[in-house]
Amino acid sequence: MKKKLIIDLDTGVDDAQALMVALSAPDVEVLAITCCHGNTPLENVLKNTLRVLKVCNRLDIPVYRGCAKPILARKQHAGDYHGKDGLGDVPDPDAPGLELLQKRNAVKAMIKIVKENPGEVTLVATAPLTNLAVAVELEPNFPQKLKALYLMGGNVNSRGNTSVCGEFNFVADPEAAYIVLDRYTCPTYIASWEFSCKMSLPWSFCDKWFAQGTEKAKFMEKITKLSMTRAKSEVYEKEITEGGGFNSCDVYAMAAAIDDTIMTQNEQVAVTVELEGKFTRGMMVLDYMEKLNKNHKAHIMKKVDLEKFKIMLMKSLK
């Protein structure tokens, strides 16, 4: 049987990479793509998602419009890294139109699909967690019907990329992240910011990745140019990626959802999100002392098999 996925994203460059990895996996069935605010405003996320599907010849996959703003936080985006449009500011004049979107709301679609496939759907979330938080508010038993949740977000060493101590997806909607980590008691796997930095891809691999000569490879090289230029800047590379190369954050969560053997090390610990701190709002908190008295513990990804990971990425652009 194929693995059934719902992918919740805010299509910037690394979301596009993660989506293309999923679409190239032969044993994966993408049931739906639900879109959320995040790297770029929701309208751009919708357009970008359809652009990726067009390049992959998979416009048959249903795409749904989700939440356009966070629950309480002020809206913010990551245009400095992903481009103002979220895909490197290289527009496609022949991009698919939004008339291709499904009419049903993303959250309601997510709930319906999971109800129809109880215990079979893995949810991969690479955006702020607003859609997921609204889903559990509307349907409290929703998480129990999932097979598993894989998400990119949060941090483990209070090392931020958006605020002093916060990672973008969690800072963009701290209340949503808190709700999800508190109420999703299905098996939960988290690819954190610092983890993805340590697992970054060598620049020599990126050159090989783009050199495959396919339409997908040309598309990826084009949309990634801006973020790679940003990543190669001396300050960014030294302070964030520790000199290791390109960090494709969202792909780690997707790769683990597709093939859990790619994870070579993880640890189980209860987690929550700080909502009130002046400097720490949105920071993920790991409860090593078990002060939270939580029965549910998340799997925090620590290491992946980089060679397997690279193979997945290479196949995604063939």
Q: What residues are annotated to the active site?
A: 10
Contacts of 211 (CB under 8 A, 6+ apart): 217
Q: Token digits for 66? A: 């989700």
Dihedral (C-alpha) 298, 181, 133, 258: value to the nearest 10 degrees?
-10
3-state secondary structure 66-113: CCCCCCCCCCCCCHHHHCCCCCCCCCCCCCCCHHHCCCCCHHHHHHHH
User: What are the distances in angstroms from CA 73 to CA 44, 70, 76, 171?
Assistant: 20, 6, 9, 8
Q: Which region, left, alpha or beta, applies to residue 256 given φ > 0 means left and ψ of -120 to 50 means alpha? A: alpha
3-state secondary structure of 229: helix
3-state secondary structure of 261: helix
- According to DSSP, the β-strands at 121-125 and 298-304 are unpaired
Q: Buried b vs exposed e over 171-202: b needs ≥16 C-beta within 10 Å?
A: bbbbbbbbbbbbbbebbbbbbbbbbbbebbbe
